[in-house]
Amino acid sequence: MISKKRMFEIFERFSKSKVLVIGDLMVDHFICGHVSRISPEAPVPVVEVTSESYHLGGSSNVINNIFSMGGKVHVAGVVGEDLAGKWLMDEISKVVCDTNGIVTDTERPTTKKTRVVAHSQQVVRYDKENRDEINNEVENYIVDYIRTKLREIGAIVISDYNKGVVTKSLIYKIKQLLFETNSKVIVCVDPKKKEFEIYQNFDVVTPNHNELEQAVGREIRKEEDMILAGNLLMNRYGFKALLITRGEKGMTLFEQDKKPVTIPTVAQEVYDVTGAGDTAIGVFSLAMASGATFPEAAVLANHAAGIVVGKIGTATATKDEMERFFYKLKRG
C-alpha cells in the first residue's frame, strides 16, 4: 500500500506540516513498584513504590506524537488552575507552536489519571477530574482560536475523551466555522459519543471495536459484522473515510466507493496498549496534512501504533523509529 520511496516523500513533508489538536488535555501519572505482602488492614496488596512518573495524556499525547514525528502542532483545550495544570502547560509549551488555545478554568481541576503498577500489572487506577461540559464562553474562545489557525494548518484532530471539552455544541460550532470559511482542512475525529450523527460529514472518524459497536447499537462478533457496521456508518453519515482500530487485528479502512481494506498489525511484542489510539490518530492526521492518501496514512498510523504498544506506559513513536521499523519489516 506504500512504497519505501513514497514513505520517505511523506516523511520529508512532516516538518513542514501543521496539525491543530482539539480535545481533553490530561496528565498520565504512573506509580510503579512491587508487591510482597497483603495489607493487614484490608485484603489488598501493599505496593512498595520504586518509581513515579508523569506523562502527557489524552489529547496531550496526540500532540506529543505529532511532535515526535517532526510535525508542527497547535492545541486547543482546557486545564485547571492547579499543580497538574501548571505541569501540563510547562510540558505542552515544549512541543506546540503556541499555547494561546488553552483555557485555564479556575472551577475545574486538570484531568489526571493515576495508575498504580506492580510487576508490570496495573493494580488500580484513580482519576481526578470534572466531566462537566465547558461553558459557552470557553467554547467560543476555542472556536475563535481555530479561526485564527485555519489558513496555516493541514489537518484538525478532535480528540474526545468524554471529559467535557468536546461538547456537541462545540462540534456544531466547528462545523459551522468550516462551512463559513469554505475550509479544505482535513478533520479527523477520535470519537467517544454514541450518537455518530454529530460527526456527520467530517472527513475521517477512527472508532475502536467497542466504539463501533456502540455506534451501530449491536454486538460485532465476526468479520462480516464489522464490514456491515463500517459500511452502514459510511453510508449513513457521509464520512470520506472510516478507520477502525482493532488491537491485535490491526486496522480496517473504509473509503467511499471502495472495498474496505484490513491492515494487519505489525506489533512484534505487546507490553502496553495505553495511548496507542492517540498515536494512531496523531500520525494519521500528520500524514494527511503532508499529502498522504487515506491508505498511506493508515499504513503509517498502523506502523506507529505497532511501535508504541511495545513500550511501557504512555509512549510515542519517532520518525527514526518508523524508518528503522519499516526497513526491518521490508527485510523480513
Backbone φ and ψ for 179, nearest 5 degrees, come out as -70, -45
More confident site: 142 or 329: 142
pLDDT of 310 higher than 80 = no
**Distance between the two ends of the chain, CA-based, in angstroms?**
17
CATH number of domain containing 285: 3.40.1190.20
Mean pLDDT to the nearest integer, 8-30: 95
The reply to whether 39 falls in a domain is no
The reply to whether 37 falls in a domain is no
Mean pLDDT to the nearest integer, 167-191: 96
Mean pLDDT to the nearest integer, 219-240: 94
According to the model, what pLDDT value does residue 332 have? 43
Mean pLDDT to the nearest integer, 3-14: 87
The reply to whether 59 falls in a domain is yes
Separation CA 193–CA 199 (nearest Å): 9
* pLDDT tier, 267 (very low <50, low <70, confident <90, very high otherwise): low
pLDDT of 312 higher than 70 = no
Angle, helix 136-149 to helix 168-181, in steps of 10 degrees = 30
According to the model, what pLDDT value does residue 23 have? 97
CB 50 within 8 A of CB 33: yes
According to the model, what pLDDT value does residue 323 have? 75
pTM of the model: 0.91
The reply to whether 38 falls in a domain is no
The reply to whether 40 falls in a domain is no
pLDDT of 329 higher than 60 = no
According to the model, what pLDDT value does residue 271 have? 46
The tally of domains found in the chain comes to 1
More confident site: 266 or 215: 215
According to the model, what pLDDT value does residue 66 have? 96
Of 81-90, 148-157, 171-180, 215-224, least confident by mean pLDDT is 215-224
**Residue burial 103-138, b: 16+ Cβ < 10 Å; e: rest:** bebeebbbbbbbbbbbeeeeeeeeeebeeeebeeeb
According to the model, what pLDDT value does residue 272 have? 45
According to the model, what pLDDT value does residue 321 have? 81
The reply to whether 35 falls in a domain is no
Mind telling me the catalytic residues? 278
pLDDT of 269 higher than 60 = no
Domain span including residue 161: 4-30+45-331
Contacting residues for 262 by C-beta, under 8 A, at least 6 apart: 249, 250, 251, 252, 253
The reply to whether 36 falls in a domain is no
pLDDT digits (tens, 9 = 90+) for 42-97: 999 999 999 999 999 999 999 999 999 999 999 999 999 999 999 999 999 999 99
Q: Which amino acid is at 259?
A: K
pLDDT digits (tens, 9 = 90+) for 271-297: 445 557 888 999 999 999 999 999 999
* pLDDT tier, 308 (very low <50, low <70, confident <90, very high otherwise): confident
According to the model, what pLDDT value does residue 249 have? 81
Mean pLDDT to the nearest integer, 97-103: 96
The reply to whether 286 falls in a domain is yes
